[in-house]
Structure 1
Amino acid sequence: MARVVITEFMDEPAVADIARHAETLYDPALVDKPEALAAALADCVVLIVRNRTQVRPALLERAPHLEMVGRLGVGLDNIDMDACAARGIAVHPATGANDLSVAEYVITAALVLLRGAWGASAAVAAGSWPRNALIGREAAGKTLGLVGVGRIARETARIAGALGFRIAGFDPLVPAEDPAWTAILRHETLESLTGAADVVSLHVPLTPATRGMISAAVLAGMKPGAVLINAARGGVVDEAALAFALKAGRLGGAALDVFDKEPLSAADGARFADCPNLLLTPHIAGVTVESNERVSRLIADLAIRHLARHVL
């Protein structure tokens, strides 16, 4: 049986490198085959996942030899860190490898939503020429509010500053003396930030403290016409309340790359029907050709080093 099991998509040259060092099972669809996944874990020493594979106690029980979990990304809410620690299982996210991809996604979404012009192809082709309806807003001089001021948020701030955004942030875990606040206006509360920003971008993990933090009350307190971007974790936003705010014309737009339940089902997605100026993408903000290569290479190198040190 395989010593390395990879349950979701990974850059294939990186997979090939791992396979040169240990028997490897690579099946990008294994995440959706629970029985096959459980069977594959019997001799697994290194497990490599993205965000959909749930590394919980039930799965860990099927992997008695597991020593390392590699996460092709940075969020760890699909991995029971306490259960892994209790077993002495090392967990390695691909820290820093997809920062730029997420930051570019956020900036692109902000520009598209503020300008509001790029959904008009069908109308223009049909001859309606809706110029007055498509007069949008510039980024320069607008305030970008970052909820969470970690690595990705700071990369987003760097790019946004070059476009003329004013940058503000809220993060109670970042001390007031942190150098990040020299370029980012520090807000003491979430409500203060979201009430002042023209664009609010979320950069927090999903924890008990952050679940539902963008509530109906917070959305109601945002500036009229403000834009919300969530490329962090879906459970952070009250999706029903967001849909209501968009349909009521309270917000100027939103971009969601992540959802409370993934993949988003047609039933859950129905709440977004007829929402104006809404962009929905399938948890892809951190995945580009380039970032997939970087993420995969980083985790492959960690796996190979682990196998050389502890197994071979």
Structure 2
Amino acid sequence: MNILANDGIDPLGKQLLENVGFTVDTNHIPQGELAEKLQAYEAITVRSATKVRKELIDVCPNLKLIGRGGVGMDNIDVEYARSKGIAVVNTPAASSLSVAELVFAHLLGGVRFLYDSQRRMPVEGNTNFGGLKKAYAKGMELHGKTLGIIGIGRIGRETAKVGLGLGMDVIVSDLAEAPKSLPLTLSGGITVDVPISQVAVDELLQRSDFISLHVPFTDRPIIGKAEFELLKPGVGIVNASRGGVIDELALIEALDSGKVAFAGLDVFDNEPTPRRELLAHPKVSLTPHIGAATGEAQERIGEELANLIIGHLKK
């Protein structure tokens, strides 16, 4: 069978697929050409860039499997594909730690103003060193602060573990029941169970010093204008889950007023053209949807995706 890895696949995953006789094409086909060129393949793997919608599925009768290298499948019409007998698989566990570590890259950068310092030091560092030093003199430690996590799935749990390892108090909110504690593995293989608390989302918003969102795509923002009013003054917010779960205009207003001290954003409403006001905002730490973009995560994703494909197509 021919597989199109349209958004790429780790060499390990490609090798595993080729070892069992599949042909794997990693040449990217633009979205507008997929309807014609996908006819030559029985399976396609994507990340977040390529969309596999009903219209594409309908014109590709040879398609037997759609694989998503990552967690969310917002770019795939999953139920429609399955109704047509097409298998749809993803790799929800493989990238969890990488996303969690990116969350803390934003948090650690936020409490020490790195997002702004990195912009201003190259321009003013040799003429206004003292002024910049004074501007960034009121940093904060994460240790002892309350981290609120909305969504306690795989990525939310890994984020919680990193926070616990830094000595933060972790509270979580989720529609499902959360675990009472999480296993924290330390250097040397020592594992300890550390308690976390589940609270209602309004309580989490009111109590948290920092908030990290780990929820699937929703029809309305999880944090909108009304929710921003509940937050502690000076809270930090990170979104490495989905664009749209935060009302971006309300976020800008909260940043401008000081209600939100800083925001870390890896995802945006209208990717790949994020709102200019966010890109230029002096209180926003920015990354271009790279939560899973580590060598370790991509290798795990490639391996898991390959094994899932083999399991389905070699039946």
TM-score by length of 1: 0.88
Letter in 1 for 2:127: A
Partner SS, residue 91 of structure 1: strand
Which residue of the other structure, out of 293, 296, 299, is the alignment partner of 2:299?
A: 293
CA–CA distance in structure 2, aligned partners of residues 42 and 124 of structure 1: 56
Is it true that 1:213 corresponds to 2:216 in the alignment?
no
CA–CA distance in structure 1, aligned partners of residues 100 and 304 of structure 2: 19
Report what 2:197 is aligned to. 185
Report what 2:191 is aligned to. none
Which residue of the other structure, out of 149, 152, 155, is the alignment partner of 2:155?
A: 152
**Moved runs in structure 1, 4+ residues, more than 6 A?**
none
Q: Could you tell me how far 1:6 is from its partner in structure 2?
A: 1.5
Deviations 1:14-43 (A, max 9, x none): 324424522332223x2x3422x1122224
Is it true that 1:247 corresponds to 2:244 in the alignment?
no
Letter in 2 for 1:34: G
Is it true that 1:12 corresponds to 2:21 in the alignment?
no
CA–CA distance in structure 2, aligned partners of residues 131 and 83 of structure 1: 56
Distance 1:7 1:305, change over 3 A: same
Residues 31 and 50, structure 2, Cα contact 8 Å, conserved in 1: no
Q: Could you tell me how far 1:118 is from its partner in structure 2?
A: 5.8
Residues 173 and 198, structure 2, Cα contact 8 Å, conserved in 1: yes
Matches within 5 A, 1:222-237: 222-237=231-246
Letter in 2 for 1:73: G
Report what 1:200 is aligned to. 211
Instruction: Count residues with an aligned counterpart.
Output: 297
Q: Could you tell me how far 1:67 is from its partner in structure 2?
A: 1.8
Matches within 5 A, 1:136-151: 136-151=139-154
Letter in 1 for 2:304: L
Is it true that 1:51 corresponds to 2:48 in the alignment?
yes
CA–CA distance in structure 2, aligned partners of residues 203 and 19 of structure 1: 34
Distance 1:9 1:125, change over 3 A: farther
CA–CA distance in structure 1, aligned partners of residues 39 and 298 of structure 2: 28
Residues 247 and 275, structure 1, Cα contact 8 Å, conserved in 2: no
CA–CA distance in structure 1, aligned partners of residues 269 and 115 of structure 2: 27
Matches within 5 A, 1:7-156: 7-20=6-19, 21-28=21-28, 30=29, 32-35=30-33, 37-117=34-114, 119-120=116-117, 121-122=121-122, 123-129=124-130, 130-134=132-136, 135-156=138-159
Distance 1:39 1:184, change over 3 A: same
Partner SS, residue 8 of structure 2: coil
Partner SS, residue 229 of structure 2: helix
Partner SS, residue 279 of structure 1: strand
Residues 43 and 64, structure 1, Cα contact 8 Å, conserved in 2: no
Report what 1:259 is aligned to. 268
Segment of structure 1 superposing worse, 119-128 or 160-169: 119-128
Q: Could you tell me how far 1:64 is from its partner in structure 2?
A: 0.7
Deviations 1:177-211 (A, max 9, x none): x44487222112x2221121111000000033xx3
CA–CA distance in structure 1, aligned partners of residues 23 and 57 of structure 2: 20
Q: Could you tell me how far 1:116 is from its partner in structure 2?
A: 1.7
Runs (5+) with no aligned partner, structure 1: none
RMSD: 2.0
CA–CA distance in structure 2, aligned partners of residues 118 and 231 of structure 1: 16
Distance 1:180 1:84, change over 3 A: farther
Q: Could you tell me how far 1:251 is from its partner in structure 2?
A: 0.8
